[in-house]
Amino acid sequence: MFFGINPGLLSGGTTFSGVVVTPSTAMKSSTVYTCVTTIASSIAKMPLKVQALHETGGWIDAPYHPLSDLFSRPNSRDKSWFQFLNNNLIQYLLFGNAYLAIIRGRDGRPSELIGLDSGQVSVSEAQNGDRVYHATSKQFVGKKTSKANEDINGPSRTIFQDDMIHLVGSNLNNNIVGQSPITLAAEVIGIDLAIQETRAGAFRNGVSLQYIIKTSGRYKPEKLQELRENLMKGIAGTANTGVGPALPPDVDLIPMNLSPRDLMLPEMGEESKRNVAMLWNFPPHKLGLDDKDAAASIEQKERTYISETLEPITKQFEQIVNDLLLVGDDKKHYRIKFDDTQLVMPVYKDRVDAGVKAVVSGLLSPNEWRADEGRPGYEGGDTIMRPLNTGAVGEKDGSETTQAGEMPTDNEVESEES
């Protein structure tokens, strides 16, 4: 059975609001555009790091691992990892799927990643339940993929699931392919587009009302037409907003419709923005809307944005790439993880204060803090410092035993000084 992008999603369908909603038309909504591009760029600018398991526990960066180069330049065409990942995440947010084909070397290790649009991929389910991908891209020409006997001179490939990074969105089809939020909530986006079009129409008409021209005198049809044309020249267009027309004394204008404010378009627009933002769990304050959690600081709001909006995507990506890109014993000794610390970066003074406390308390060495700040280390800066007046609970005589040996007590320090 084949799965893939719904052909109707590309051609579009008319919603009850009268607006055709597709990923392309949805991006004309300022709310959709802001949600999608902000989430994609927020994740794409996070460094994707390869980290090694340290012998004493914990993880340290492994910048010389071959995968680190892959996360800098994914293939021969795409020389920017940010641009590469950003565009593929936009695919995921609009279509519910993102596809990154893995090209492997002879040793089985990844050598390239090729991003695929949703329209370039269809998915079938094998007899054992595995996904099988059928993809087309000119970037495949001359490169081997999953099937060894496949013609490498053509653009079409059959790719097994172990060679495809597939981000899957919410779906109701046994997790074979994701479904687009544009499809699942087309009416919500249709309303937002309809309000946007109504506002644009109001400006096109000079933010004016439609009128009936009522006269108490006798006018020939030609004179009425001239009066109508002069009236429209005087009120149409944004340049004439708020300017009243000059009328003969025997002519009155009777409004036929309600103004944009009477129609409550501002209130409807704000409510519509909130509804669209909910589709991607996007925080209202990033859309300039009043936030119910007004007491929270900007840093707290940003951390909530990371944990509730970004992490559901980054965790899925991390789990997949750790399974597919790490080979052999590397799975035991390495991991791939996004570094989100730079998304919420305190001011320099706060970073220095926190760094001093971390170094003095023995949480970080001076060189580790300097590395976090992008500064080079110095000789002797790898030493972990510990306060002399601290010790483990239950110790006698104030002594503290560490891996480096026994630290002197306060009494011993005083006796040495005397």
Summarised one tens digit per residue, pLDDT across range 122-139 is: 999 999 999 999 999 999
Per-residue pLDDT, 417: 52
289's tokens: 């809307």
Side-chain-facing half-sphere of 93: CA atoms under 13 Å: 33
Could you tell me the pLDDT band of residue 11, with boundaries at 50, 70 and 90?
Answer: very low
More confident residue, 66 or 213: 66
Per-residue pLDDT, 4: 54
Could you tell me the pLDDT band of residue 53, with boundaries at 50, 70 and 90?
Answer: very high
Cβ–Cβ under 8 Å, residues 95 and 317: no
What span, in angstroms and rounded, lies between the C-alpha atoms of 133 and 168?
13
Distances (CA, A) of 48 to 77, 81, 234, 254: 20, 10, 59, 64
Could you tell me the pLDDT band of residue 381, with boundaries at 50, 70 and 90?
Answer: confident
Cβ–Cβ under 8 Å, residues 367 and 359: no
* pTM, entire model: 0.75
- Is it the case that residue 408 has pLDDT exceeding 60? no
Shortest CA distance to 161 belongs to which of 244, 100, 237?
100
**Which tens digits make up the pLDDT trace of 56-105?**
888 989 999 999 999 999 999 998 999 999 999 999 999 999 999 999 99
**Which tens digits make up the pLDDT trace of 257-267?**
555 555 545 66
More confident residue, 384 or 74: 74
- Is it the case that residue 8 has pLDDT exceeding 50? no
Could you tell me the pLDDT band of residue 174, with boundaries at 50, 70 and 90?
Answer: confident
**Which tens digits make up the pLDDT trace of 157-172?**
999 999 999 999 988 8
Could you tell me the pLDDT band of residue 15, with boundaries at 50, 70 and 90?
Answer: confident
The answer for 171, left when phi > 0, alpha when psi is -120 to 50, beta otherwise, is beta
Could you tell me the pLDDT band of residue 3, with boundaries at 50, 70 and 90?
Answer: low
What span, in angstroms and rounded, lies between the C-alpha atoms of 13 and 186?
9
More confident residue, 301 or 245: 301
The backbone torsions φ and ψ at residue 335, rounded to the nearest 5 degrees and listed phi first, read -145, 160
Per-residue pLDDT, 361: 84
- Is it the case that residue 336 has pLDDT exceeding 90? yes
- Is it the case that residue 150 has pLDDT exceeding 90? no
**Which tens digits make up the pLDDT trace of 266-316?**
667 788 899 999 999 999 889 888 766 665 777 788 889 999 999 999 999
- The mean pLDDT value of the chain amounts to 81
The backbone torsions φ and ψ at residue 114, rounded to the nearest 5 degrees and listed phi first, read -120, 120
Distances (CA, A) of 240 to 156, 173, 253, 392: 58, 54, 17, 79
Could you tell me the pLDDT band of residue 6, with boundaries at 50, 70 and 90?
Answer: very low
DSSP-assigned beta bridge partners for residue 104: 110
Per-residue pLDDT, 331: 94
Per-residue pLDDT, 113: 96
399's tokens: 């002594």
Percent of the chain with pLDDT over 90: 41
Q: Which residues contact 319 (CB under 8 A, 6 or more apart)?
A: none
Per-residue pLDDT, 403: 46
Angle at 257 between CA 251 and CA 260, to 5 degrees: 120
Per-residue pLDDT, 243: 56
Of 147-151, 187-191, 256-260, 350-354, the least confident: 256-260
